[in-house]
Structures are given as C-alpha cells and as structure tokens.
Amino acid sequence: MSAPSRSEYRVVIVGAGVIGLYTAYHLARSGAGPILVVDRGFLSSGASGRNGGGVRQQWETRSTIRLTRESVDAYRHFARDFGVNPWFRQSGYIFLAEDGAELERLRRVHDLVRSEGLPSQILDSAGIARLVPGIAADVAVGGTYLATDGTLYPFPVVWGLYEAVRNLGVEVLLGTEALGVRTTAGRLRSVTTSRGTVSTSTCVNAAGGWSREFSERAGLTAPNAPTRHEILATEPLKPFLDPMVVRARDGLYFSQTMRGEIVGGVSPSAHAPPTLAMSSSLAFLARMAGILVRILPSLASVGVLRAWSGLYDDTPDGLPVLGEDPRLRGFVHANGFGGHGMMLAPSSTARVARMILEERVDLDPAEFGPQRFDGRRVPHAAEALQLG
C-alpha cells in the first residue's frame, strides 16, 4: 500500500463504504478537490458489503420517506449513470402485522406514505397470502405493501462508486486507518493516518460502525452505538417470493434473491452477549430458522449455506447524523444510519456534499444535525422502523 500522494487535500473522507464513496462522488462531480478517501479495511469489508440490499420508502417520519424516495430513483438509474448494474428490483416490501395494534401502527405509516404520493396499500390476511405464497395462516392479520420498494445487490453499488470516484480523480487508499485529527482553536487542520499526516480543512466521518470510535479520536463524544446484526442465506430454491417481507416487532426481514436464495436476518436477542466480532453464531441460526419455518413451513427442510454479521451504526432517535459538528469546525458527520446506509446513501450524501460546499440544503438540522444531541433541544419524534 502506498502513502497519500499529496500533503494537502480539500476533503478527507474516513470510510470507503457506500456513504463515504457516494459523498466523494457528489463532491468530485461538483469540482471540489483534491479528495482523499481512507479505509482501514478492504472494499466492502464493512456494512456496505454485509447487508440484505433492501431499499424501502415506508417510514414513520416524512423526511426519511422523502430521502429514500429520492434514493429509489437514483438506484433505478444507477446502471446508466455508473456503468454497473446493481440489479435493483422494485418487487415491493410487505410489513406484517401480527395483531390489531400493530396493524393500526402500520396504518398510520401507510397514511403518511400515501400523503407523500407513494402507492402504499393496506392488505388483509388474504392479500398477504397472495403475495407471500405458503405463509402460515395465523402469522399475520394484515399489513402494508408498497410495490415501488425493492432490493439490490450491494457489491455492484460499491464497485461502481469506487471506479467512478477514481475516474473523477479521487484518491482512495484501502488498508489505511484514520488515527485522529489535529486542530487549532476549534478548527480542523489535518488528519493523521497509518500512512502519514495530511493537511485538510474538512474531514468527513463516514466510518459506519466505527464512526463513534473515530469521533472520539477527534476528541468528540458521540451518541452512536455500534450493534452487531447477523444474516443468513439458504440454498437456492425455485423462485416463489417477490417482495421483501419485514416485521417491525422483532426486526425480521427476508427476501428471495435472483439466484433463489432466501436471505434475511432479525434484530439481536436481548439475551445475546454483547460483541462486535464479525462472525456468526449458532444461537442466531437456531432463532432465525425457527422464525422462518414458523412463517413459511415449507422452508423446514431447506439448508443454510452461509451466515455472517455486520455492524449497525445506531443513534438514539433512529435518524442519521449529518453535517458539521459545532464543536470542531471542519469535522463533518455522515454516519448513524443504523442498518439503512445503502438505502439512504444517494440522497443523504448529496446533502452532505452541499453542506461542505456551503450550499443550501433541505434538511432540518434539529432533526439530522449533530447538535440535536447536545441536551439543550427538544428532540424530534424518533424513527422507529429500524429493520431491513
């Protein structure tokens, strides 16, 4: 691995996942350079290469619906814009409601989504059964369905962005760790990496599950908490399931890929031991298998081919942290996406880039800015639909 080619950069981005690379892309397209992106791992080693590829627009907050609606449009045109096909399929998302109370919650989400011009539908149990063939009769009393939601393959997205930013002159150094920053009078002056120190006026913290760690290396407390989530993939089956199936109660999500595999996960058990290890566990496999067979009994004899884990970058209110930190000028947050960095990346990073360029953005800083956690402000309503 080589050292940075320059001693000074206009912007240094920490994290070469979908958030960091998309931020670099928007900045480079706007002529802001030179730009350096560093990542201590390899391409797709973080959450950008470990997720289920879901892209949905059903949320409890209007701002998140608008951001993901914009991202859906970006992914529809990704192959044209980047020359790499992420196989984005708008095959829909179904939210399952186990009882009347959950159905009423989903109905409120449905009303909000419809008010944003999206064709959300309320389904009864028969409607669920038509879209999820073989679902157990007593699993859901109903739910919601949005046909324009979908899934993609994460790897082509990362590869496409990586090639695009390098073609735009962005320098990307993998296997290079950001160790900290140097400051003067509350202003960022440089970033220290494992391959040397570079001067810069702007550093973007897009380190995902390690964003809190890097904020602390810059001397800043952060509300982010990394949470380990596991996921599995089964052997290929004859295609039978089009939509992504999700359940808010336990964070369940699963879909069938174009290769025929069932891919999905569920929120960690409250009894799971805390760990950030990138491994899989027998406890998760047993729990997830039991849930899948309960919902789709026909999966009882299906084998699991592989399982893995990745880190969610969670915030207390379920919304990402976007913008310059008022405690350190030039230190910009693009983190806290939970498990939804892939689906929020195109739209949210465009706004981060405009913030860096000191352009007007349409995000409420009280809802997305780092200052909302300073303890002096009335918090906005939380975004609780934190799942696939």
pTM: 0.96
Does residue 60 form part of some domain?
Answer: no
Q: Are residues 138 and 252 in the same domain?
A: yes
CATH number of the domain bearing residue 347: 3.50.50.60
Output DSSP code: residue 278. S
Does residue 82 form part of some domain?
Answer: no
Give the residue-averaged pLDDT of 249-267.
96
Does residue 274 form part of some domain?
Answer: yes
Q: Which residue type, as a one-letter code, is found at position 282?
A: L
Q: Are residues 369 and 266 in the same domain?
A: no
**Cα 203 → chain centroid:** 20
Give the residues across from 254 on adjacent strands: 245, 264
What is the reported pLDDT for 376?
Answer: 67
- In tens, the pLDDT along 68-91 reads 999 999 999 999 999 999 999 999
Number of domains in the chain: 2
What average pLDDT does the structure give for the chain?
Answer: 95
- In tens, the pLDDT along 27-69 reads 999 999 899 999 999 999 999 999 999 999 999 999 999 999 9
Domain hosting residue 352, numbered range: 8-50+155-224+316-373
Does residue 80 form part of some domain?
Answer: no
Would the pLDDT of 288 be above 70?
A: yes
Would the pLDDT of 300 be above 70?
A: yes
Q: Are residues 353 and 364 in the same domain?
A: yes
CATH number of the domain bearing residue 144: 3.30.9.10
Does residue 386 form part of some domain?
Answer: no
Q: Are residues 230 and 308 in the same domain?
A: yes
Residue labelled with tokens 């070469």 = 16
- In tens, the pLDDT along 172-195 reads 999 999 999 999 999 999 999 999
Q: How confident is the model at residue 102 (pLDDT cuts 50, 70, 90)?
A: very high
Does residue 57 form part of some domain?
Answer: no
Would the pLDDT of 380 be above 70?
A: no
Q: How far is the C-alpha of 73 from the C-alpha of 57, rounded, in Å?
A: 11
Q: Are residues 263 and 116 in the same domain?
A: yes
Does residue 327 form part of some domain?
Answer: yes
Q: Are residues 128 and 275 in the same domain?
A: yes
Q: Are residues 187 and 261 in the same domain?
A: no
Would the pLDDT of 273 be above 70?
A: no
Q: Are residues 234 and 349 in the same domain?
A: no
φ, ψ dihedrals at 232, nearest 5°: -135, 165
